[in-house]
Amino acid sequence: MNEELKVRKIENGIVLDHLPAGKSPDIMKILGVDNQTEETISILMNVSSTRQNKKDIIKIEGKGFEDLVVDKIALLAPGATVNIIKDFNVVEKRKIKIPDVIDVVSCPNPSCITNQREPVKPRLLVEAADPLKVRCYYCERVFNEHDLLEKL
């Protein structure tokens, strides 16, 4: 059977493509998908891919690009793409890139001033994307992807 037929096309919504194989459960967590979720969601894990050898795909019916916390997804899946679907057609493809500054994840250093009820957002400066290396603007400590995932 053709791979594409395993899960049917969606009418309106988004497709997260080129996710690293095996990362979709973590990404579902970021998307806030749980037993209260009403949208139709399809998850494909370990799909053969020419670009990545294996990849994961998540299809979400009825959601738009603006519903995604792109900077969080970027931490787990830099280089992934978001296909925006209208009337069964891809109307736009957006590449997910790691931003220069991450403010959607708190600093993993519990003693950092940004974790002490101060009126500031976290400010993690990206020094390298692959492998991920960020430095807190405030406490100056350096963290990797593993450190940040625990804070997602």
Q: Quote the least distance from Cβ 106 to other proteins, whole Å.
A: 12
114 binds other proteins (CB under 8 A): yes
User: Reduced to 3 states, what is the DSSP secondary structure of residue 93?
Assistant: strand
Among 88, 120, 128, 146, contact with other proteins (rule: CB under 8 A) = 120
- CA 82 – CA 29 distance, rounded (Å): 17
Sheet bearing 81-86, strands edge to edge: 41-49, 53-61, 13-20, 81-86, 89-95
Pick from 20, 80, 82, 23: which is nearest to 55 by CA? 20
Over the window 69 to 108, marking each residue x when it contacts other proteins by CB under 8 A and - when it does not, the resulting string is --------------------------------------x-
Residue 1 neighbours by CB distance under 10 Å: 5
Q: Quote the least distance from Cβ 58 to other proteins, whole Å.
A: 33
Residue by residue, DSSP assigns 69-102 as -HHHHHHH-TT-EEEEEETTEEEEEEE----SEE
Binders of other proteins: how many residues, by CB under 8 A?
19
Lookup: tokens for 90: 């891809």
**Which CB atom, from 49 or from 106, has the smaller least distance to other proteins?**
106
Q: Quote the least distance from Cβ 61 to other proteins, whole Å.
A: 42
Over the window 127 to 146, marking each residue x when it contacts other proteins by CB under 8 A and - when it does not, the resulting string is --------xxxxxxxx----
Q: Quote the least distance from Cβ 142 to other proteins, whole Å.
A: 4
Lookup: tokens for 81: 């793409």
Task: Answer yes or no: are the C-beta atoms of 70 and 103 closer than 8 Å.
Answer: no
List interacting residues with other proteins (CB under 8 A). 107, 109, 111-114, 116-120, 135-142
